[in-house]
Structure 1
Amino acid sequence: MVFQKSHFSGSVINYRAPCTSSEGRLCDVFGDLSVWNEYFWRVGLQLRELSPGQLSLVGMRHVDVDRNILEQCEAATLLCHLLSHHHCIVSVQLNVDVFKGHHQIICDALCRSPSLRKLKLCRLYMTTNASQSFVAALPHLNQLQKLEFTHVLFDRTCLEGLSKFLASTRSLTTFTMTDQHIKGEDAVIVLQGLRQNVTISTLSLHASLLSTVSSRCDGIFAEYLRCNQTLSSLTVTSRPHFSFSDLGPIIEVLMCNNAFSELCLIGFSLDILNIKIITDMLSRNRSLRRFRMVNCTFYEYNHHINTWVPVFSSGSNLIPLWLAAFAENNTLEEFTIDLSWIKPEDCSSFFGTLACKTSLKKVNIPEFRQNDVAHICRAIQDTGVPERFFLGQHHVHRATAAALPECKALSCIGLYGCTADEVEPLHTTLHLLPMCSQLKSLCLEMTRQAFNDNVGSLITQYLTNTTTLRELRLNFFCGIQSSIDRSERMLLQALSNNKSIRRLSLSGLYISEGDAEMLVDKLQSSRTLCHLSIYPYNLQATIWLIEKLSPNISSNYMLLGMRTSWYELLCGGWYPIKDAARRNNSLVTRAAHFVMGTRHKYCAEAAELMQFSPGFEEKVQELASVDEIQAVSRIEGSLKSFTEMDDFMCLAGVVKCSVTCHRRDDGQKQLVDLNRDCWLYIRQFLKISDILDAK
């Protein structure tokens, strides 16, 4: 196939080049990713390096362009070549733009892939022909470890083929169908295959698959959980509407399952019977390490109005169940629960019981009664181990604003819907912010009228002086504006001077061309700002931002993500920004894996280059499950590990073990004759990247 020149740079792609990756060496494709992605961009996809030396084709968010059949064909052809000839590509996402009309050649390429480990199908309608092609390919994916479906419309052929694959695979370890609503006989087909599976260790399903409408589903899944010895992690997502799902088949069989380590329930509506089943399981299970209940609402029956109502601050009858469960459980390490139901007077006993469990290292509380925040924070502080407890965002209001400085457990707060008529909580909060050094994240949402000179001055002063704030979101709404006012200009100047914010989101600000240039200068010079989301009041500002940022974005090694209003006419300027963010994320990934023990030269180069990037530190925190201080310590230790001459030369690939030099006849000093101080002085100016790779 003859390709058009790439859409943005006008480059000619050499897609037939073979894979050249080997241990410690990147494939040549990595050097041309920017060009490859110009073709994939047009179909909403991007090649990324999610682990060192390995490529993943993933979906792009907020990319909406008018693609044509030729562009779809080019992207499909490139994908097929990568799958068929490159063992550096390990993960692929298929969407409708690349799969539709090309399902046969793509499925054939999937069968030939020497290294595919993960496959995700997203927002697809499986026609009869597409289903037949996909089902025919499944038995050949004998190295596939992860399979995910998101909003895919299956026909019966596809479900039957999937069931057979689940029953027969000997490689699949992770299976995800969280966003798939499959019921009745279709659900039975999938579950019958799952029941015979002996390899899956991580499973994520939608509760519709286990619907009590079909008792066969209950029985099949219960038998699967009872007999399975490989499943260690289960996530079940429920319907968004009110419904008490029978958790018996899921929970009761886990009581004595010693292979199970993680359970996550999302979006369930739970009554007292469900809670009793859950707490009984916690009392008896001896293997569960992580238990998360996310967006789960507790209900009780109100006999006065003859209906079920949410339990809000009247949940004393639930406390004994949880206390009894944790009195018996000695294995749980992480626990996530919504505490909107707990009474203030019960907080001390509840948190105290959790704190006494030495195995329990992390307690997440994403939701709680906002009026009780001070009481909750005091109870957490009184446990003596507040570092184990993590509260979600507190929505500040009139009754809680004054207590913020004493709420040491709070790291994230927000003020929403602030108007000119209700500025008291806003003023109180802004006055107290300098005393809240525990805050890492701040969200302010207000009308333009509320953002007067006084408010602007307080925000500006705080942003100029803070050294602890990591995330800021500012949203201005209502009102008509045709120019920037004094308060907004002060705010933008304060943001330009700030040295701590890593994630910044601005919405509704009027931005002039000069202010756009100031923001671009801030982004380009910042040593901390990694993520920027900006949606100006005036749409022209988006054009100014993209046009001013795009030409020099390649010199920015801090930016990891950026979002703004989408215009296809800006596509040419937007692409270099997205590509720079992709490159920087790759470097952060390599650097973090170097800290974790991947001692490849290109990973060491990335560690040196990105050593001051906050994203590097956050990635180490993620991979190592450590806090910020521990991550910084690990990074420093890794960089010091190749300070000495022998270590540096080995890592750079110059020598295998140590540096030795043949003695010179003229007696001149050689490299090994340098004392340590001399070498360390030279080392200040010498980087791993300065040592060229052998041809």
Structure 2
Amino acid sequence: VGSSQEILSDLCNTKSIFTSRKIDFGLGCTQSDSQQCQIFKDLKLWNEFLWNTDAELKEVLPSKLGVVRGSCDLDTVSDIRFHHASILLHWLLKEHRCIQVFELLEHCTTYRDMRLLGDTLRLSAGIKRLKLDKFHLSRCFVHTLATLSKLEELELCLGSMSKNAFAHLQLVLEEMPSLKSVKLDLRCMSLNKTRALLQALKCCAATSLCINGSCLKLENGRAFAEFFAQNSTLKELTVNHLAKREKSQDVKPFLHALRTNKTLEKLCLPCCCLATSEARLLVQVVATKSTLKILQVKCTSANGPAVFGELIGSNRSLSELEITTAPSISELAASIRKNTTMKKLSVSCKYLTTQSTEAFLDALACNKSLELVRLGNISEQEPGYFHRLLEKKGLDSRVHYKCCIIEPDIYMSNRKCGADLRRARPSPLKAMPGTVHHVCRQLARPHQFVDLSISLYHLDLESGRLLAEFLSSTKVLKHVNLAFVFGDRYSMRSILEGLCCNKSLSSVALQIVFGEEDAYMMGALVKTNKSLREITVLSPSKHMYSNVIFELSEALVDNYYLLCVETSDYAECAKEVFKIKDVMRRNTSMLLDAVKFAMGSCTKKQAEAFEQLFESDALVEKLQELAHDTNFEARERIKKRLQYLEYNFMTVAGIVKANMVCELGKLQETRLDQIAFDSWLKIRSFLKVRDIADEPVAL
């Protein structure tokens, strides 16, 4: 081991594996309320080094950075580069208070030595969100957490803690007045550890808690019930992964405690399989609650619908209910007619036939309070039948559904169903070609599908042609997931050509074997597309895949709208994947700059971003998230700021320092400037903020 000066010299002279550039360790944080940190000017350089720890430094909130997981195959990284990058990460967190999010996987860095990780966090100045996966947390490390005085979100997943660490956690949580959310998915929870954890949580200011179902096992359940009954701060509680084998006596104390608790507003029990007796007890308790507004629960018993039907009919405080039950929902019909307060209802069953939903839909048509109903896993013989049924009953705007066809394997939805639909990798089935052709023809009839997932063992030429026609013509489809094991080059070319013609899709997921001509088509798909925000390109074979990734990396340079690109992790494509990641970081930062302008900031850089993205749905959604606007309010905000940019272009673009105004002459006559203002606006329509040079250009 060399001296500190030798180590510093070595670090300063280490070159990036991508561009041979070096890091300037003298670049401190310049973040302030009115100024962005200077590190934002070249995030690419820092990520060229952090790549070697499978970490990524990116803008996660306006002017706020986060260290999140990257896309590097660590098996290809040398030890020396690994260590240098780890030291850089340590330095970044110490020096830069603009880094507010830190997410780390145990197997992704050299921080298996918890003392080093603890030192990193102890020296950090601005961490507000901390997520650690697959760590064993010692007492010493837990003590370090107390130094994170600004921490708002703490997430510890798939990890473990020593008994002494649990005992010390109470003192730590008392030192975190800003903590709002805690998620603990810890393993090997003994009774003593559970009691220590609950004792610590009593001193916690967090209003949201997510814990593993192991906290309800055996004696743990009674301990948790005692804590929960007396708690006066929690507003949201999630209890995850409660398996069928857990006995009723483990769950019932918690449900009785719910009756006593006075503050809880949202209860989520995902992956918790409640028996009929437990579901009935839950319904009885919730029916008496006036504070609980949202309930999400899974019940696997055949009597589930009837049990929760009682809740829908009698409860007067719940505004949102989500249940996963048995195949039938007809038992809910009578209750739906009675309820006058509920706003949202979600029912996800194993497989619903369209016939079994008729009584429910008739009741819903009579209900005046329910604004939105989500129905999942409706089995159809051909696409569109259920939607036509909704139109017939006048419910197509109030019901969001997810339908499926078994052969071929197709899922359809009239609303975005989330990552579960687009990210699913169904096992492709060998369907009869005639059946596939028939279903593909039917897809073109109901134009209301927003989410579509198709999985085929073999994509023949006719199926490819029919799907291409649908993809190129639909104007409402937003998300598509296509998985094909085999397909000839002409059918795949048809699919890609159809995608290139589409102007409505915001996300595309492809799991296919690429041919020689597909690489160019993938580049053409993303180069000028303004609607796509997310694309996943996976391939079980490396053959030709590197060409596809290369074309994507080249074409994406001209795309400012895509925010997420997921690819297969092949070491051969590392340079291209890094280039893609860098473009995604650029686009994300541009979106956040556009948000800043829409919310009132007015730098030239922000105006350029806003002018580029003002028509993007991503800007609307990000404003809804950060400004807490409704969809209408976000669009109105964008409209007003666009008008502001029109009238104040000269000032915003930096041509003049103050507002351009027209003053009347001595005789108070109307001057040409006033008359020509509309003409100026016409000229302005041909100009963009980016057209105005920052410095005068010498002739």
TM category, shorter? 0.7 to 0.9
Contact kept, 8 Å, 1:123 with 1:151, in 2: the verdict is yes
**Correspondent of 1:436 among 446, 451, 454:** 446
Write the distance in 2 (CA, Å) between the matches of 1:390 and 1:631: 24
Deviation at 1:515, TM superposition (A): 2.0
SS at match of 1:318: helix
Per the TM alignment, residue 62 of structure 1 is displaced from its structure 2 partner at its CA by 7.4
Q: Equivalent residues in 2 for 1:430-579 (5 A)?
A: 430-448=440-458, 451-477=459-485, 484-508=488-512, 510-536=513-539, 538-579=541-582
Kept after mapping to 2: 8 A contact 1:370/1:394: yes
Match of 1:158 among 155, 165, 171: 165
User: What is the 5 A alignment of 1:97-116?
Assistant: 97-100=108-111, 103-116=114-127
Q: Following superposition of structure 1 onto structure 2, how do residues 612-623 of structure 1 map, counting pairs within 5 Å?
A: 612-623=615-626
1:607 maps to a residue whose letter is: F
Measured after TM superposition, the shift of residue 239 of structure 1 is: 3.4
Query: Separation in 2 of the partners of 1:292 and 1:343?
Result: 16
Q: Write out per-residue CA displacement over residues 83-125 of structure 1, whole angstroms, 9 at most, x where no aligned residue.
A: 2222211121233343525543442342233322121111224
Q: Provide Cα deviations, 1:320-348, integer angstroms capped at 9, x if missing partner.
A: 5223443xx23x3332222435343x343
For residues 576 and 504 of structure 1, the distance between their equivalents in structure 2, rounded to whole angstroms, comes to: 20
Q: Cα distance, 1:179 vs. partner?
A: 5.5
Give the CA deviation at 1:144.
Answer: 1.7
Distance (whole Å) between structure 1 residues aligned to residue 72 and residue 373 of structure 2 = 31
Residue 223 of structure 1: how far off its partner (Å):
3.5
Superposition deviation, residue 235 in structure 1:
1.0
Q: Which deviates further from its counterpart, 73-82 or 626-635?
A: 626-635
Aligned counterparts, 1:313-332, within 5 A: 315=304, 317-326=306-315, 329-330=316-317, 332=318
Q: CA deviation at 1:16?
A: 2.6
The residue that corresponds to 1:118 in the other structure is 129
2:216 is matched with which residue: 210, 218, 228?
Answer: 210
TM-score, length-normalised on structure 2?
Answer: 0.83
Deviation at 1:575, TM superposition (A): 0.5
The answer as to whether partners of 1:207 and 1:238 remain within 8 angstroms in 2 is: yes
- Cα deviations across residues 113-146 of structure 1 (Å, max 9, x unaligned)? 33221211112244xxxx3541341232222222
**1:663-678 → structure 2 map (5 Å cutoff):** 676-678=677-679
On the 8 A contact 2:380/2:403 being kept in 1, the answer is no
Q: Aligned residue for 2:289?
A: 285
Q: What is the CA-CA distance between 1:33 and the residue it aligns to?
A: 1.0
**Contact in 2 for aligned 1:206/1:237 (Cα 8 Å):** yes
Shift of 1:663: 10
Q: Secondary structure at the match of 1:247?
A: helix
1:117-516 matches, within 5 Å, as: 117-126=128-137, 131-178=138-185, 180-197=187-204, 199-211=205-217, 213-214=218-219, 217-240=220-243, 242-244=245-247, 246-255=250-259, 257-293=261-297, 296-299=298-301, 311=302, 315=304, 317-326=306-315, 329-330=316-317, 332-344=318-330, 346-354=331-339, 356-357=340-341, 360-367=342-349, 369-372=351-354, 375=357, 378-379=361-362, 382-383=365-366, 388-391=371-374, 394=377, 396-398=379-381, 402-407=385-390, 408=396, 409-410=399-400, 412-416=402-406, 418=408, 422=432, 426-448=436-458, 451-477=459-485, 484-508=488-512, 510-516=513-519
Task: Output the CA distance in 2 between the equivalents of 1:670 and 1:64.
Answer: 69
Cα distance in 2 for residues equivalent to 1:287 and 1:157: 36
Superposed displacement of residue 378, structure 1:
3.6
- For 2:56 and 2:186, locate their aligned partners in 1 and report how far apart those are by CA, in whole Å: 22
Change (3 A) 1:534 1:320: closer
How many matched pairs?
A: 654
- Distance (whole Å) between structure 2 residues aligned to residue 625 and residue 386 of structure 1: 24
Evaluate the alpha carbon distance shift between residue 104 and residue 619 of structure 1 in structure 2; reply closer, same or farther with a 3 A threshold: same
Kindly indicate whether the alpha-carbon contact (under 8 Å) linking 2:111 and 2:117 is maintained by their aligned counterparts in 1: no
State the shift of 1:194 in Å: 1.3
State the alpha-carbon separation in 2 of the partners of residues 661 and 436 from structure 1. Answer: 56
Q: Whole-Å Cα distance in 2 between the matches of residues 28 and 475 of structure 1? A: 44
Structure 1: distance between partners of 2:665 and 2:305:
85
What amino acid is aligned across from residue 562 of structure 2 in structure 1? L
Which residue does 1:88 correspond to in 2?
A: 98
Query: CA 1:93 to 1:552, structure 2 compared with 1: closer, same or farther past 3 Å?
Result: same
For normalisation by structure 1, the TM-score amounts to 0.84
Deviation at 1:476, TM superposition (A): 1.7
Q: Deviations over 1:483-536 (max 9, x none)?
A: x3433332222122122111111223x422222101211111212122211224
Is the 2:157–2:186 Cα contact (8 Å) retained in structure 1? Answer: yes
Structure 1 residue runs of 5 or longer lacking an equivalent are 300-310
1:43 aligns with 2:47: no
Distance in 1 of aligned mates of 2:632 and 2:385: 30
- CA 400–661 in structure 1, closer or farther in 2 if over 3 Å, else same: closer
The whole-number CA distance in structure 2 between the counterparts of 1:221 and 1:323 is 28
The structural deviation recorded for 1:241 is 5.0
Mapping of residues 67-78 of structure 1, within 5 Å = 67-78=77-88
SS of the equivalent of 1:445 reads: strand
Task: Give the conservation status (yes or no) of the 8 Å contact 2:489–2:515.
Answer: no
Gaps of 5+ in 2: 1-7, 391-395, 409-428
Name the SS of the counterpart of 1:169 in structure 2: coil
Sort the Cα spacing of 1:663 and 1:287 in 2 relative to 1 into closer, same or farther, 3 A.
Answer: same
CA RMSD of aligned residues (A): 3.6
Cα distance in 2 for partners of 1:257, 1:655 equals 59
Q: Helix, strand or coil: the match of 1:229?
A: coil
In structure 2, relative to structure 1, the CA distance for the partners of 1:497 and 1:690 (3 Å cut) is closer
Distance 1:628 1:553 in 2: 29
Q: Where does residue 304 of structure 1 map in the other structure?
A: none
Please state whether the residue corresponding to 1:369 is helix, strand or coil. strand
Question: Which residue identity is paired with 1:337?
Answer: I
Task: Using the aligned pairs only, state the percent identity.
Answer: 23
Contact 1:398–1:425 (8 Å) recurs in 2: no
CA contact (8 A) 2:382 2:439 kept: no
Greater alpha carbon shift after TM alignment, 93-102 vs 592-601: 592-601
CA distance 1:54–1:664, change in 2 (3 Å):
farther
How far is the alpha carbon of 1:661 from its aligned partner? Answer: 8.8
Question: In 2 relative to 1, CA 258–686 (structure 1 residues): closer, same or farther, beyond 3 Å?
Answer: farther
Aligned residues of 2:51 and 2:72 also touching (Cα < 8 A): no
Inter-partner Cα distance in structure 2 for 1:222 and 1:533: 44
Query: How many Å separate the matches in 2 of 1:22 and 1:664?
Result: 44
Secondary structure of residue in 1 paired with 2:102: strand
Which residue of structure 1 lines up, in the alignment, with residue 647 of structure 2?
644
Contact preservation (8 Å) 1:203, 1:233: yes
- Give the CA deviation at 1:289: 2.7
Give the Cα separation in 2 of the matches to 1:180 and 1:637: 52
